[in-house]
Structure formats: structure tokens, C-alpha cells
Structure 1
Amino acid sequence: MVFLWPTFLWLLLVLPVLVLAYLAVLRRRRTAAIHYPALGLVRAALGAGPRWRRHVPPALFLAGLAALLVAGARPLAVISLPSQQQTVMLAIDVSGSMRATDVQPDRLTAAQSAAKAFIADLPRHVRVGIVAFAGSAQLAQLPTQSHADLTQAIDSFQLQRGTATGNGILLSLATLFPGAGIDISALGGRQAMPATPARPIDEAGRAPAAAAPPFKPVAPGSFPSAAIIMLTDGQRTTGVDPLEAAQWAADRGVRVYTVGVGTVAGETIGFEGWSMRVRLDEATLKAIAQRTQGEYFHAATAEDLKKVYATLSSRLAVEKKETEISALLALAGAALMVLAAALSMWWFGRVL
């Protein structure tokens, strides 16, 4: 818990004074009691019942006062709250290397199964969009809350040649920010694409602005309303530099979570008369995640992949935030003071 130090120091000074004042009052009562000739009058003054009762109301009062003083410092606590993220973009590699069988039954089938399980575990208010990338990137599904549409898009994946990881990130960004003028062709990618998707994704149905507003970079990871999850099994062979694309995401505050599927050693696969060695480029995937304040996950088996998506689902559904808890402490302090007064009235017929 974080709070203002001046108020905390004041609390440390005031509470001992109040405790000493209470002890002084008790001492004065004991001194005054000897002037009463009848023991019954002394007992009446102290109240009936166990002796410890007379200390309970003042202790509760002091605890309530301490809570109110701490509340005045406007303390902050790190607590888990429902995530504010409304849109998640899944950028999934559909290059020919995804036919490798080191992840059973093969990398693509395992990825499809895990992605569908991930979508099923997300809260209903979260929209999910899907980008499929190989030698180029295509928007397979605009962000939607319809799990049926998302499942259909995932099942329709077709393997292609090439791996343009940077294009997958940029097309995901272009979908999240339809009016930002993000253009892959302007960054040296081989795939020219419009600055906006075919249809806007605005909840209110507003069309994107004709001209992009001046762009001002923000802190990496500071955009709470969206995230990108990129799953790939190989090295970039074409398209935009993925680290340059990651910088674009970082400048917009969007976190990119990267998932490397397959073994680090790789596997040799053959298709239509050609063969190639497919390796996992962990260094680049880690750099992408680090640059955007995301996280890298390695999935060497289908079960690992499901666990990764389960972890991501829980992290996107709930997030830890610094939240001011002064109202909660003020309520607790008031409740303790009311309880102290009530017990004092019940036991002794007076308020403290």
C-alpha cells in the first residue's frame, strides 16, 4: 500500500499521544476512586462486568481514528480488478511450416484448437479479431463478440508460403486504429493494404476520419483497451521488419504477447517437392514482447499451447491495478467508531 508520507508521520505522532491520554484518564479515575467511601460506588463508576470491557470501546475508537487518518493520505493499493481490455487481436501464422508435426497432430491444428479454447474462456464483453499471416497478412475476422464467427474464421485457415510476422502485427494495429493511416506498403512491406479495414470497428458505427490526426507516441503498454497475441513458429522471411512493427505497437501503447510454437531445434518438412528446415526465432519474439511491455511464451507441445492460451485468457480477464482505497478505509474507520459508541452505551450507559 502506498500513501503520503507526511500524513503517515503525523499518524505516528498523534496515535501515541492519544494512547497516552487514555492511560492518563484511567490513572486519574483510579486516583479519584479512593475518595468514595463505599466500594459499591466505585464499582458503579467502573461499570459492571469484566474489567477488560472498559478498554474495548476506546481501543475501537482509536483504531477507527487511525483508519480515518490513513484515509486522509489517499492510499493506493495494488488489487485485482476486471480488465478494461475490450479488443484482442489474434495474429496467427499460417505459413507452410505450420504443417510440422513436432506439435501433435501438427502445429496448425494445435494452434486452431488452442485459439478456440482461448476465445471460449474470454469474458463475453471482449471482442476478438483474427489476422492470418504467411507471405502477406489478411484480416480473417473483424473484432466481434460472436464466438461462432470467430470459430468459423479459425477453421478456414489455409496454409501459404512465406512468414511476414511484421505484417501480422501492423495489420492488427490497423484494425485496432482504423483511422490512424497505418500502411504496410509505406514501411517497405511487400503487401500493399488500405489504411483502414473494409469496415470500421467502432462500437457506435461511426466511420473513420478521412485524415489521420497528428500522432503522438505514448508509453509502451499504456493503452488498456486492446492487446495483440501473435502466434508463430518460424523466422520472418518477407514483409515488414517485426521489430519495426513492434515499435509501432509500443508507440501506441499496445502490448504484443508472442507465442512461439514448436521446438527450438526445429524440424525439416517437405511439401510439393521442396523441403526446408523450420526453426523457432525465440530471440525476435522475446524482443517484440519486451519492446511492447508484453510477454513471450514458448509452447513445445499441444498441451503447452493450451496452457499458454489459458494463462493469457486469465491475464486479459483480470488485471492488477493501483487503486485508491481511501473511501474503503474511511468507511472502516466510521464503522469502528460507531461500534465503539454502541458498545459503550450498551455496557456503561454512556458514549466512551
Structure 2
Amino acid sequence: MIDAMSGLPLFSFLWPEMLWLLGFVLVLGAAYVWLDARRRRVAVHYPALRTVGLTPTGGAGWRRHVSPVLALLALSALIFAIARPQAVLMLPSRIETVMLVMDLSGSMRAQDVKPTRIRAAQQAAKVLLDAQPSGVKVGVVAMAATAAVAQAPSRNREDVASAIDRLKPQGGTALGNGLLIALTTLLPEATTDAALLMDDDIPPQKTADALGGDDKRPGAYASGAIVLFSDGESNAGPAVAQAAQLAAAHGVRIYTVGVGTTDGVVLSVDGWSARVKLDEQVLKQVADITGAEYFRLEDASQLRKVYRALSARLAFDKRNQVEITAFFAALGALLAGCAGLLSLWWFGRVL
């Protein structure tokens, strides 16, 4: 079986050829069944032998089989250990930098999320900020018609929180630009590819063909991540999907938090009115492309739920194959010890 997130087999062996030794376990099991049946036949034909303990007694019952079964299981576990099993485990990711991308478009003034979309996003961002370990740097990208770094990655939580509080809704939405600015801040080596995407004079197809990246699997970059707070609408800048593909090529995950409701609300600003809705499809696409996850924030009461989910993903986001030979070796030793002790206790002998 393959882990879809990491591309690694969930369970494998370094020396699978050693598993043929399990055939001996089957032979021993069959031999035990044959010997037990033979003793039973002897007991039927020579009942007097029971009095001197040469045949099994009915009083022992199921206990006669416990120790042999445990011994066979112990042998199987030890053979598995010889084959050196590996399993995909979730490990702490040693994340060093988190970039928060805040959508400041006019639609973020909508009040379908109380008190407003932008205020709910700011609250969620600050809760996530407080949850990060002291050694993790957090940066902020402000994104409207253009995008810029509002706070360079810093370990000073007060500076980052102040930068988040200063953000105000503006006009336009360049979602792709916001992601690219966050990516180049996180990984300066992606600047050249990001510049190609931002160049309006280059046709989209030619730009896509020119992009290189590191050709890593999505999520391979374990030292940083991007978290986007947005309602998903974009009307300027490069295509959002291309920005996500570039991030994926560099192994960077983009977690997306949808702020708003799918039904939306009519927003009136400066004499014009329009219904603004949460575009979940765009946000889910960004998360899927980069091997991350999408979350939805409909109201302030869900803020804690989103925070817990995001914190868990950022803290344990590294999948790695770990050899678990010691586990099977210890299990085999434990089962063998139990088999011997139970036999000694019940019958006064070791097996």
C-alpha cells in the first residue's frame, strides 16, 4: 500500500527475501497439530497411560495450546524482525518558517462572517501565531491588487501581531501574486521562476514551459509552509494554479483557509453592490496541488477548530520511513517469554 501524501509504501521490508523463513513456522504448526492428534489417538487406545502422565489429560483443556501458539507467534515476529520492516510514520517536521498570506480585497469587508471576513481572518492568524513554538519565524504578506511583505519572518510575536492588526481592506485581488511573494520570501531561490509568472508580457503557456523549480514531490520542503487566509476570489495577477504549481515544484505546501460562506452576501461599497461568495474550488485546488489541506472558517466560533487543525498539520507534517525491526524483535522476545512462563506455571515445564 502507498501513502498518497508522501509516495512512500506504508509498510515494506529491507530484506523481503528473508520472509521465506515463515514457511518453517507453517511446518512447525502443522507438526504440532499432527503430534497433538497422535497423542489424542494414543489416549483413546491406551487410557491407562493417562494415570502416569504420558498422554494429555482433558483437564488441561485449551491451556495445552496457549504456550505452543505463543511460541509460534514469537518465532513469526522474530522472522519479521530479520526481514527488517519499515513503516511510514508521522514525525515532527522541524518547521522553521511560516508565511501568512492575508487577503485584503474589498470582498473581505463582507459580514457573512462576524464581525467581518477580514477581522475573522486576522483573529485566526493571531491564534495560529500564538500557537507556534518560540523558535519558529512567522512572516506576513498583505495581498490586494498587488502583494507585499507586511512583516518579514520574525520570532518576535508582538511585531508580527502588530503587522496583522494594521492590515486594512483595499481594492483588487491578486491571489497568485500573494502566493508568489510568500514563496520567494520563504525560498529566495524561487525568485527567478516567480518573476516569469509575474511578467505580463510572457504568454501563460510559454511561462509554464519555462518554469523549472526543484521538481520535488509536493510537501518535500519540511522547513517552511504557507497559510493563505482568503475568500478565494482573484481578478488580477498571475493564475493562482500556476503559483501553486511553482510552490509544489519547490516542495512547499500551501494550507488554505476559506473565509466566508458559499451563499455569500450582497456587499455595497462606494455606490456599487455585488454578491460576494466564498470560492472554495480555488482554495481547494491550491491545497491539493501543493499536497496540503483546505479549511473553512464560516464564523468566529470555528476559529479554535481551524487553529487546532492547522497547528496539528504544521507540527506533524513530515512523513518518513522508519525501520521498526526493534519493535518486532521485542514483540518476539515478549511472546516467547510469556509462552515459557505460562507453560512453567501450568505444567511445571518450559514447553
TM-score range, shorter chain: 0.7 to 0.9
| Aligned equivalents of 1:73, 1:87: Cα separation in 2 | 39
Matched residue, 2:221: 223
Matched residue, 2:272: 275
Query: Which of the residues 248, 255, 258 maps onto 2:256?
Result: 258
SS of 2:141's equivalent in the other structure is strand
* Aligned residues: CA RMSD: 3.6
Which 10-residue stretch deviates more, 286-295 or 102-111? 286-295
| Aligned equivalents of 2:41, 2:258: Cα separation in 1 | 78
Answering whether residue 326 of structure 2 is matched by residue 316 of structure 1, we say: no
SS of 1:264's equivalent in the other structure is coil
5 Å-filtered alignment, 1:1-352, equals 2-3=11-12, 11=22, 13-26=23-36, 41-42=52-53, 50=60, 52-77=62-87, 79-124=89-134, 126-182=136-192, 184-188=194-198, 215-233=213-231, 235-271=233-269, 273-275=270-272, 277=274, 278-319=276-317, 321=319, 323-345=322-344, 350-352=349-351
Matched residue, 2:206: none
User: Does the 8 Å CA contact 2:218/2:250 hold for their aligned counterparts?
Assistant: yes
Q: Report the AA paired with residue 42 of structure 1.
A: G
Structure 1 position 60, deviation (Å): 1.9
Aligned length: 325
Q: Alignment identity in percent?
A: 44
Q: Report the AA paired with residue 291 of structure 2.
A: Q
Unaligned runs of 5+ in 1: 191-213
| Aligned equivalents of 2:317, 2:336: Cα separation in 1 | 34
User: Does the 8 Å CA contact 1:91/1:169 hold for their aligned counterparts?
Assistant: yes
Q: Report the AA paired with residue 88 of structure 1.
A: V
Compared with structure 1, are the counterparts of its residues 56 and 300 closer, same or farther at alpha carbon in structure 2 (3 Å cutoff)? closer
| Aligned equivalents of 1:184, 1:253: Cα separation in 2 | 15
User: Does the 8 Å CA contact 1:176/1:226 hold for their aligned counterparts?
Assistant: yes
Structure 1 position 19, deviation (Å): 1.6
Deviations 1:168-199 (A, max 9, x none): 11111112213443475543368xxxxxxxxx
| Aligned equivalents of 1:274, 1:183: Cα separation in 2 | 40
Matched residue, 2:209: none
Compared with structure 1, are the counterparts of its residues 39 and 296 closer, same or farther at alpha carbon in structure 2 (3 Å cutoff)? closer
Deviations 1:27-66 (A, max 9, x none): 676789999x9976537x979x946554433222111111
Compared with structure 1, are the counterparts of its residues 337 and 265 closer, same or farther at alpha carbon in structure 2 (3 Å cutoff)? closer
So what's the TM-score if we normalise by structure 2? 0.76
Compared with structure 1, are the counterparts of its residues 337 and 100 closer, same or farther at alpha carbon in structure 2 (3 Å cutoff)? same
